Structure 1
Amino acid sequence: MKKIIYALILLLVVVSGLVFANRAVNNETSKKPAPKLLTAAEKDAEMKKWKATPEGIKYTKWVASPAGEKVFACIAKIRKNVDDYTNMEAVVTSLSLPPGSRLGFGVMARINDEDYIVRFEPEKSQLEQLHSLKVNDKIIIRSHYISHAPKYSYPIVSGEYVERDGKVIFQRVPRKGGC
């Protein structure tokens, strides 16, 4: 009888220890502070600090330069299509990106009589279809995002959907675990 009582007490101690240890681990993870979101005033202050850095000064000069103004004018031409995620007709003008670019896989395309860099984030299975593109191919592009960088003389369109001759040749695969 004593052996059974000792065994039950030992079992109770082990189970209690496991429950307590698991509770301690859960409390530790919940104590992490949530990332602090900046207020509008704090964002403005950070932006002013950055604009005072050499990179910020260089960027500000580029925005005011003819090259920067041209890039922003090109962005304005297709902004509505990008915001609405609607079709944009394009013609492939080059199968390579400008020298020194670090954008990954992409092509140069003419949309609304302006040149754009169209970059892709393809899965390996999608590369073959994208490599089938040729200069002067007419394609339909959809995108949610357009960007710019002083390094490039062209706006950068993130290609999320591409169609050629009525067939989808690329559709961005959503990332796992969120965005």
Structure 2
Amino acid sequence: MKNNLKVLALLVIIFNIACAKTANTKEEDNHHTPISSLGKRLHVIPQGSHYCDGNIYTSINLSKLNFKVKFDSSAIYQTASPSNQVDINKLYGFSDNNNLHHNYSARFGWRWRNNELQIFTYIYNAGIVSYQRIGTAQIGVEETYSIEVANNSYIFSFQEQTTIMPRESTTTTAIGYKLYPYFGGNETAPHNIKIWIEEF
């Protein structure tokens, strides 16, 4: 009888440990890439880092990427070196041509400069980067973005603005992987930066 009680007690202890470990794992996962009740995913770029939390490899094969973004006041920053304030941070997009993103890719960029949140198109073709200002985002306001693959062009749309950028990829659709928020440029994030993104 005593042996049966010992076995039962041992099983209860093992079960409780397993449940606690599972719960802790879920909390850790949610800490890195929390999802609000509205379905928006919070991406956090920690202070002293270039990359956001939850920056995982996700393959894509698409002709258009639609998403909404909301910045909060953490998007307001001052670089340690004033010359780096012009650097463009990366927002969201994808690599292309079944290749690395520094060879072929399309995404939006952003920076805080002249007291405004400036939004850019940002592409790579055959390893050569080019970008263009497309508009200004508002702090605390959810705004819509899209990147469409159209043969030899990328069609970038931000709110009511549209900019066409050249595309040299040879694939019919964009084949590659998602590109997540990244700070820099030369410097790392001066404080935690929060960006909410929701695809639709």
TM surpasses 0.5 = no
Give the TM-score, by structure 2 length. 0.28
Give the TM-score, by structure 1 length. 0.30
Give the helix-richer structure, 1 or 2: 1
Q: Indicate the structure (1 or 2) with the bigger Cα radius of gyration.
A: 1
